[in-house]
Structure 1
Amino acid sequence: MAPKRNEPDLSFLLDHTSHILRTQMSAALAEIGLTARMHCVLVHALEEERTQAQLAELGDMDKTTMVVTVDALEAAGLAERRPSSRDRRARIIAVTEEGARIAGQSQEIVDRVHREALTSLPEPDRATLLQALNQLTEGHLATPAESPRPARRARQ
């Protein structure tokens, strides 16, 4: 006999909704030839001069994934690797004019997908959900626990 669950399955609820949101985001961004990682790199690279390592950290990507993502952005003419203006030993990811245009489009898509996800909730519940999620990510769920077998983190 299975043990009785005494609490809601928060892990399932968060994992499931996150997975579905990622699939919807992936499909929407694919319409303009981007992945969520490509969008992330473009947007963060436009904010300020950043190295590939800094962008990888912001996007929670390992080195290999970051290289593949930047290679794809370069092949599409959306970004390029350039020497940093602040440190000539470092190379930054610079967004091209076309990349900036596409980043604007992709941000509109990301905003639309998020807005559509929230429309299934009554208006007052939307703000409550966002406030509660922010409190969790800034509080109890801000830092991963140390573990001898770390959980794999799914990323879009």
Structure 2
Amino acid sequence: METDQGAARYSSPTLDADTSFLLARASAMASAVGNRAVADLGLKVRTYSVLALAVEVEPSQRELAERLRLDPSQIVALVDELEARGLLERRQDPSDRRARIVAATPAGAALFGQARARIEDAQRDLWAPHSAPEIEALRAMLRRVAFGEPR
């Protein structure tokens, strides 16, 4: 993690007041922490996210792309990688023959359980300087921004 001295050295009044920049920087920091937490499991934050959705909701590839805000070609590559490792499988969507559902295999669900515990520990460390009410307020605000959820 960056020291306060390093942050002050590169301080910019413009960027320090730019919400989008601050969100991008916080996202990059959280992704780096998450990537380190699951690296030895052969995952990154993106593959962890795909695995989480496959375990919890079994989305179509199109739904994965929409939820994760990734290009469909990126989703195909992520699903291919996890499928090759035996962690996911594609199934035909019974309500739409053209669509494929992405579901976790038992091995994928087990790996997700390990990864989730590591991600939670890493995030707990990252957010430790903040109170529980501050963290929940931030989550609520980010859900509104990310998904348009009402107050």
**What band does the TM-score fall into relative to the shorter chain?**
0.7 to 0.9
1:9 alignment counterpart:
17
Distance in structure 2 (CA, Å) of the matches to 1:7 and 1:65 = 30
Q: Show CA shifts across 1:102-152 (max 9, x none).
A: 11111112211111111133xxx34224304523652xx458xxxxxxxxx
Q: Is residue 141 of structure 2 the alignment partner of residue 135 of structure 1?
A: yes
Equivalence map 1:1-156=2 (5 Å) = 5=13, 8-11=16-19, 12-121=21-130, 125-135=131-141, 137-138=143-144, 141=145
TM-score normalised by structure 1 residue count: 0.73
Q: Show CA shifts across 1:48-86 (max 9, x none).
A: 332111111111211111011011001111011121233
Percent identity, aligned pairs only?
A: 33
Ranges of 4+ aligned residues in structure 1 off by more than 6 Å: none
C-alpha distance 106-142 of structure 1, shift in aligned 2 (>3 A): closer
Gaps of 5+ in 1: 144-156
Which one has a larger percent helix, Structure 1 or Structure 2? 2
Number of residue pairs the alignment of both structures matches: 136
Match of 2:95, SS state, is: coil
TM-score normalised by structure 2 residue count: 0.76
**Which of structures 1 and 2 has the bigger CA Rg?**
1
Residues 87 and 107, structure 2, Cα contact 8 Å, conserved in 1: yes
Q: CA RMSD in A?
A: 2.7
Match of 2:59, SS state, is: coil
